[in-house]
Structure 1
Amino acid sequence: MRKILPFLFFGIFIINGFSQSPLRLEPKKYGYRAGDSIYKYQVEYKDPGSKGRQLQWDFSNVKVLNDNYLIKYFYPDKKDTFHICGMEHRTRYYYLQKKDSLWSTGFENYTTLINYTTPELKLKFPFNYGDTLYSAFEGEGIYCNMLKLKVKGWTRVEADAEGELTLPGNKKVKHALRTHTTRYYTETGKDSTEMSYETYTWYGKNLRYPIFESIKTTLHRLSPGRGDGGEVGVKQGSQVSDTIVFHTSFYYTPEELNIQPDLLANDSTDIYGNPIPEAERVFTEARMLPNPVINNLNIDFKLTRRAVIWFSVHNNIGIPMRQTHPQSLDEGYHQTQIPMGGLVTGTYTVYVHVDDRMIQRVVVKK
């Protein structure tokens, strides 16, 4: 088994880039937030391309593999707002968000439980183009309630590229920032396994969560003759045989991601470089849950000023199916509920009427 670079296990190293990106990752704007539910689309793997500045990525043509991939963030203990959990693909991922850092502290699913005795540093804010961080992590756990596991490795994160991202529908995201994370680790149980996990992540202006991700997992195997000289009669200098065991990409539609309300008052353009409509400056922090919905659609929102608000739900040919009464609401947080239990399964457009302007959102009825 190859030796993991030992000096990386003595601490954390952060290199700050000399140049500043138009987009910088900050904890208030890009940290995980309890209560958020996000749908992303699993699509065929897209090559991330080279690193650098003023690049262009064309992800306009993607083949969807799974359009029902849900991520939920919540507090495992509501009294502890530093620890947050992300539920994804039947696995719980545990994080510690404190001050300027995001740490991974472990994960669990039906078969495996891992707790990091030395947490893994995922991001240290603020993070700009050219910034790099290194950290070590170590953990232990159990597989199928009987096999003890140990894991040890290192993580390197670099903000290695920025440019313009073209999404399905030929929507363009300007000043996108990409991070490249390499996670190299050894897992020891019945057998010993060396793996690397590479993630390329694209972030957009005013969007808390990524727009696009490309992920690749590689299994590193030594050929029958080990190259470390650890066995009698083994030939020195044997080659490593690497196998890509998994690769995929994920696309998060910007319309479904949460726009950051604190930025809207000072921002005149959205992630595409278009002017932000007045209605979206007034109607902010909107969450329509659950989505997909079975019975009642709950809408939470914040108004930045007093406005007349009402909602209408339309089917896929534009016929109104539900409508609320107009209300004059003060600045602040509000909630409304729309009954959708009697509607047939399908996709519906929710029109948010803000004074004499409109915003539209899409919900799915199960």
Structure 2
Amino acid sequence: MKHHFFLFLFLPLWGMSGLLSAQEPVRSDFNMFRANDTIVKQQVEYKDPGKQGTGILWDFGKLKTVDSKYTVVYEQTGDSLLSGTEHHTRYYYGLRNDSLFLTGYENPTTKVVYDSPELILRFPLKLGDKAEGYYRGSGSYCDKLDIKAYGTSSSTADASGMIILPGGDTLRHVTRVRTTKLVSERIAPLLPDTIITSVSDSTKQLPVFSVDSINYFLQGDTSVLVVDTYRWYAAGYRYPVFETVSTGNYSTAAKTEYFTTAFYFPPDKHAYLKTDRKNTSLQAELLEKDKTENANKNDSGNNVDGSVVIDNMEFTYNYYPNPVESQLNFEYCLSKDAKVSFGLYSITGLMVYRSPVKSLRAGTYAETIDMGYYSRGEYILTIMVNNKPSSEKIIKK
């Protein structure tokens, strides 16, 4: 069954040397939205979010700006509701115990109330934690069409590491949260007694659909939308510092991509920090902690939160996409000068690609491998730094 979608996406939301310290969880007292905060966002070119895990390097430093005039404004709209306005749409949120929910949204054409609200985050969310749930909402489009929306939402803290932002800032103690949302919408003529005048003032109690009912609607709809959102939270900042969004058609066989975009939250524009003592204190605490760890680091040859320490040098890296169709991208950061090479091997151990050994200075680098003509299957990417290997499994599709 094919439907039209009237979906308005929720898009809120130091130096390079030293060891990566323990990842900080996303917590309500440090990361919950606050009334009267205005957040500056810049839309930038999309880039694949890369792999999951610990000790990851995300280099978004070269992305070009698409739209620099973009803000999100948070306001108190009731005793238990907080709203965030962006792109001419107001989203309503509620914090219940340890969980943040989306309870509805409205704009000049569309109003939707969630009787089974959408779970956004569950606090605290530390690396490896997952929060998931089902949601259902009802509303109207232009006071002429009735909208019924059903779906699922799942958020996972899937990676930690350091991030290089489009403005050149490098931030540590970064946690990435991936949210995958499925949306099915049904549109019908609007009956006069079902018109919703205001999301925030609506007290109408709608029947709560069971999980089985929502699954039934999702399985019967061939045009279910999947929204994949990655948000990077840096310890000491209440709101994300970077975000990517991709949407597509979801099915058991494949995902057809519709569009992709990304947003950058410039650290120097986080004006809310002037009144956010918790986060400014955390920034100062982590800065001192980094200095101490940097002074005490030694040639352990082991992993520290996934960041490989080789010859008293920190080596962080990232690769994408995986699975790969044609070009495999590989990015890495060296805290000291080193000799680097990398190779690609079939699952049986046959070498199919090898780069020359390079003597590199401390810094950030990027490489690519053209896998367009490789056979489908599994490969092993091996990175040699000062003759010490690190390996990752790559899937060619």
Shift of the alpha carbon at 1:163? Answer: 0.5
Decide whether the 8 Å contact of 2:236 with 2:282 is kept in 1.
no
Partner of 2:261: 248
Shift of the alpha carbon at 1:241? Answer: 6.9
Residues in 2 aligned to 1:254 and 1:271: alpha-carbon distance in whole angstroms: 16
Partner of 1:52: 53
Residues in 2 aligned to 1:203 and 1:46: alpha-carbon distance in whole angstroms: 17
Partner of 1:181: 179
Shift of the alpha carbon at 1:190? Answer: 4.8
The correspondence for 1:209, drawn from 202, 218, 239, is 239
Decide whether the 8 Å contact of 1:173 with 1:271 is kept in 2.
no
**Is the counterpart of residue 198 in structure 1 residue 228 in structure 2?**
yes
Shift of the alpha carbon at 1:205? Answer: 1.1
1:253 maps to amino acid: P
2:265 maps to amino acid: Y
Residue identity over aligned pairs, in percent, reads 35
Aligned residue runs from structure 1 range 282-293, under 5 A: none
Q: Provide the TM-score with structure 2 as the length reference.
A: 0.56
Decide whether the 8 Å contact of 1:174 with 1:272 is kept in 2.
no
User: 2:154 aligns to what SS in structure 1?
Assistant: strand
Change (3 A) 1:110 1:219: farther
Residues in 2 aligned to 1:213 and 1:271: alpha-carbon distance in whole angstroms: 24
Residues in 2 aligned to 1:90 and 1:241: alpha-carbon distance in whole angstroms: 33
Partner of 1:108: 106
Residues in 1 aligned to 2:90 and 2:156: alpha-carbon distance in whole angstroms: 25
Aligned residue runs from structure 1 range 289-328, under 5 A: none
Residues in 1 aligned to 2:114 and 2:287: alpha-carbon distance in whole angstroms: 36
**Is the counterpart of residue 73 in structure 1 residue 74 in structure 2?**
yes
Change (3 A) 1:262 1:114: same
Aligned residue runs from structure 1 range 165-180, under 5 A: 165-180=163-178
Residues in 2 aligned to 1:138 and 1:186: alpha-carbon distance in whole angstroms: 10
**Any unmatched runs of 5+ in structure 2?**
3-20, 190-220, 292-397
Change (3 A) 1:272 1:247: farther
The correspondence for 1:218, drawn from 210, 224, 248, is 248
1:213 maps to amino acid: E
User: 2:224 aligns to what SS in structure 1?
Assistant: strand
1:249 maps to amino acid: A
Partner of 1:131: 129
Partner of 2:278: 262
Decide whether the 8 Å contact of 1:93 with 1:108 is kept in 2.
yes
RMSD across aligned positions (CA): 2.6
Residues in 1 aligned to 2:118 and 2:245: alpha-carbon distance in whole angstroms: 18
Deviations 1:51-75 (A, max 9, x none): 1110100010111111110100001
Decide whether the 8 Å contact of 1:142 with 1:149 is kept in 2.
yes
Residues in 1 aligned to 2:109 and 2:259: alpha-carbon distance in whole angstroms: 19
Residues in 1 aligned to 2:56 and 2:139: alpha-carbon distance in whole angstroms: 42
Partner of 1:64: 65
Shift of the alpha carbon at 1:119? Answer: 0.4
Shift of the alpha carbon at 1:170? Answer: 2.8
Partner of 1:40: 41
Residues in 1 aligned to 2:281 and 2:254: alpha-carbon distance in whole angstroms: 54
User: 1:189 aligns to what SS in structure 2?
Assistant: strand
Deviations 1:138-167 (A, max 9, x none): 111111111111011111110000011011
Which of 1 and 2 has higher RCO (CA within 8 Å, sep 6+)? 2
Partner of 1:157: 155
Residues in 2 aligned to 1:217 and 1:46: alpha-carbon distance in whole angstroms: 14
Deviations 1:81-105 (A, max 9, x none): x210000000011100233111000
User: 2:162 aligns to what SS in structure 1?
Assistant: strand
Partner of 1:326: none
Decide whether the 8 Å contact of 2:43 with 2:68 is kept in 1.
yes
Decide whether the 8 Å contact of 2:64 with 2:166 is kept in 1.
no
Aligned residue runs from structure 1 range 344-359, under 5 A: none
Change (3 A) 1:195 1:171: same
User: 1:268 aligns to what SS in structure 2?
Assistant: helix
Higher strand share: 1
Change (3 A) 1:21 1:143: farther
Change (3 A) 1:271 1:161: farther
Deviations 1:300-334 (A, max 9, x none): xxxxxxxxxxxxxxxxxxxxxxxxxxxxxxxxxxx
Decide whether the 8 Å contact of 2:235 with 2:283 is kept in 1.
no
Shift of the alpha carbon at 1:175? Answer: 1.6
Runs (4+) of structure 1 moved beyond 2 Å?
A: 190-193, 239-246, 262-275
Residues in 1 aligned to 2:257 and 2:106: alpha-carbon distance in whole angstroms: 24
How many residues are aligned here?
Answer: 238
Residues in 1 aligned to 2:282 and 2:33: alpha-carbon distance in whole angstroms: 22
Change (3 A) 1:102 1:269: same
Decide whether the 8 Å contact of 2:182 with 2:227 is kept in 1.
yes
Residues in 1 aligned to 2:37 and 2:75: alpha-carbon distance in whole angstroms: 8
Decide whether the 8 Å contact of 1:174 with 1:273 is kept in 2.
no
Residues in 1 aligned to 2:94 and 2:154: alpha-carbon distance in whole angstroms: 18
Change (3 A) 1:144 1:266: closer
Decide whether the 8 Å contact of 1:174 with 1:271 is kept in 2.
no
Higher helix share: 2
Shift of the alpha carbon at 1:270? Answer: 6.2
